[in-house]
């Protein structure tokens, strides 16, 4: 995961998973992806063992160079972007050994880009284009007039998202800027009006829904992401959202995606978050359940 110093104890899901492991009596370690190495066909890492203080904070116990094959369960919780370093990390985690469970499976992390993976289920998504050429954007705009959402493929937390009207006078200039003059592909989707009411994060454990939260944008803002100042609220899935979740759960689990967050706008699937899905603390609070304990117990 990211450095221990970056933890936000009030909302960090990675912290909650570490805390659950410790509360259930397991030993828990923090690993920085820069500290993973291969010795022949064995993965090792500099592992920082942590414990819980009386006020439920993490405290470093010791560091040791350990074989990752000796670990029972490893969560990959490094935030995007999925860059070259991250790619090589997933390759090295393939050498953890048969008795170590990596969540999510390294092959799935490589295959399931968080913005593009939703297109595995095209019937559930709003109209979507992934391209870098202006002519493709013009065709899409003609077929889907109105407001568009432009996103970087490797973004997270709402960073880099822009809105653009198809009849905007600066349409060409905005597209050229976002695609870096045609050198970079971006994701474009038809705007979903229900976005004004917030977006829904659904957390899965294996192929089952744990629950959902509603994220609502701060006053004067438009993005609902918690990292952009949004707030979390309880949410009960609609019949259509339940139907989509039931269709997606077994497919994701079969691919080795055991802890995942999917995002809805209204009844439209928007993203599949496989690297470091958040919202666990809020869900535990709203539902008054120790889902973090359940995740460790079922995966360990």
Q: Domain tally for the chain?
A: 3
Q: How many Cβ atoms from other residues are within 10 Å of residue 135's Cβ?
A: 9
What's the rounded Cα separation, in Å, for the pair 154 and 201?
19
Of residues 228 and 143, more confidently modeled: 143
Residue 145 sits in a domain whose CATH number is: 3.30.1490.20
Per-residue pLDDT tens over the stretch 149-197 = 999 998 777 788 999 999 999 999 999 999 999 999 999 999 999 999 9
What's the rounded Cα separation, in Å, for the pair 202 and 263?
6
Q: State whether 64 and 35 are in the same domain.
A: yes
Residue 116 lies in a domain: no
Order of strands across the sheet that contains 128-131: 128-131, 186-190, 147-152, 162-165
Q: State whether 201 and 264 are in the same domain.
A: yes
Residue that is last in its domain, among 111, 141, 173? 111
CA quadruple 295, 226, 118, 85: dihedral sign? negative
Q: State whether 68 and 136 are in the same domain.
A: no
Residue that is last in its domain, among 53, 80, 111? 111
Q: State whether 213 and 277 are in the same domain.
A: yes
Q: List the beta strands (DSSP E) in 55-174.
A: 58-67, 73-75, 101-103, 128-131, 147-152, 162-165
Residues 6+ apart with CB under 8 A from 170: none
- Indicate whether 36 pLDDT > 70: yes
Residue 245 lies in a domain: yes
Complete DSSP assignment for 251-283: HHHHTT--EEEEEEETTEEEEEE-SS---HHHH
Q: Across residues 193-206, what is the average pLDDT?
A: 95
> Cis peptide leading into 116, omega within 30 of 0?
no
Are residues 158 and 223 in contact, defined by beta-carbon separation less than 8 angstroms? yes
- Indicate whether 287 pLDDT > 90: yes
Q: State whether 213 and 142 are in the same domain.
A: no
Residue 119 lies in a domain: no
pLDDT confidence of residue 224: 66
Residue 121 lies in a domain: no
Per-residue pLDDT tens over the stretch 102-117 = 999 999 999 999 889 9
Percent of the chain exceeding pLDDT 70 equals 98
Are residues 17 and 259 in contact, defined by beta-carbon separation less than 8 angstroms? no
Full domain range(s) for residue 33:
4-111
pLDDT confidence of residue 114: 87
Percent of the chain exceeding pLDDT 90 equals 89
Q: State whether 218 and 291 are in the same domain.
A: yes
Q: State whether 133 and 226 are in the same domain.
A: no
Q: State whether 211 and 259 are in the same domain.
A: yes
Q: State whether 8 and 105 are in the same domain.
A: yes
Residue 298 has phi, psi (to 5 degrees) of -80, -25
Residue 267 sits in a domain whose CATH number is: 3.30.470.20
Q: Across residues 30-37, what is the average pLDDT?
A: 96
Residue 158 lies in a domain: yes
């Amino acid at each position: 995961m990211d450095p221990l110093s970056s933890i936000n104890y009030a909302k960090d899901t990675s912290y909650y998973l570490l805390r659950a492991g410790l509360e259930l009596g397991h030993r828990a370690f923090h690993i920085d992806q820069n500290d993973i190495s291969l010795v022949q066909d064995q993965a090792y890492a500099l592992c920082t063992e942590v414990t819980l203080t009386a006020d439920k904070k993490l405290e470093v116990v010791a560091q040791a160079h350990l074989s990752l094959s000796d670990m029972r369960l490893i969560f990959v919780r490094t935030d995007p972007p999925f860059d070259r370093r991250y790619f090589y990390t997933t390759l090295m985690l393939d050498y953890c050994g048969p008795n170590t469970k990596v969540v999510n499976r390294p092959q799935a992390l490589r295959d399931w880009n968080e913005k593009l993976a939703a297109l595995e289920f095209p019937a559930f998504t709003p109209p979507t284009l992934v391209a870098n050429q202006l002519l493709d954007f013009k065709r899409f705009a003609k077929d889907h007039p109105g407001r568009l959402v432009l996103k970087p493929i490797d973004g997270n937390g709402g960073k880099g998202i822009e809105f653009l009207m198809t009849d905007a006078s600066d349409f060409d200039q905005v597209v050229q800027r976002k695609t870096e003059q045609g050198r970079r592909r971006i994701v474009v989707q038809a705007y979903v009006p229900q976005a004004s009411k917030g977006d829904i994060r659904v957390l899965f454990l294996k192929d089952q829904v744990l629950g959902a939260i509603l994220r609502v944008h701060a006053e004067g803002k438009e993005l609902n992401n918690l990292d952009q100042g949004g707030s979390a609220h309880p949410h009960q899935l609609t019949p259509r959202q339940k139907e989509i979740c039931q269709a997606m759960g077994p497919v994701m689990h079969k691919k080795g995606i055991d802890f995942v967050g999917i995002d809805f706008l209204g009844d439209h699937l928007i993203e599949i978050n496989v690297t470091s899905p958040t919202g666990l603390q809020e869900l535990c609070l709203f539902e008054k359940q120790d889902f973090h304990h359940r995740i460790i117990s079922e995966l360990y």
